[in-house]
Amino acid sequence: MAIRNIVTSEDPILSKPCRTVEEFDDKLGQLIDDMFETLEKAKGLGLAAPQVGILKRVFVMDVGDGRVEAVNPVILKESGKQRDVEGCLSCPNQWGYVTRPNKCRLRAYDRHGKEFTMDLKELGCRCACHETDHLDGLLFTRLVDEFVQMEDA
């Protein structure tokens, strides 16, 4: 495993849509392992492949109830609303209020190509939506309705 560099918001790769993963191979598994290691070192909740310079539809997250690896993720349905402060490893020192669904159903594949669905709520839903946005080239800063200083958050 290796810790990868996290690209910042100035990098144009973060505004590009990612390609669908078609090969579920050792290279994909290595990317996912590296992303988890990078996420852990950065003390983040989620990390999308474009944040480490790879335009593939992959994200990893761990919001405290276990690791999730999502390849070719799709948010199938959403319900409710929540408004809370978000940050991003690619946008250091930027924080702001974003409204997201309170619950969602995620469909994705694991590193071996096995399809799964999971129902997420609150922080898990927020994180999955944030990371899925990255895969579509959308930074959270475009969704912020009020920027805040971290000590205000």
Point out the residues that are catalytic. 131
Is 112 annotated as belonging to a binding site? no
End-to-end CA, the chain: 34
Is 130 annotated as belonging to a binding site? yes
**Dmax over Cα atoms in the chain, in whole Å?**
44
Strand blocks (E) in 15-151:
46-48, 58-61, 68-79, 82-86, 95-100, 103-109, 115-121, 146-148
The residue behind tokens 């290796």 is 2
Give Cα 71 distance to the centre of its chain.
11
3-state secondary structure of 129: helix
Which residues are documented as binding site for Fe cation? 88, 130, 134
Cite the annotated binding site by residue number.
Answer: 88, 130, 134
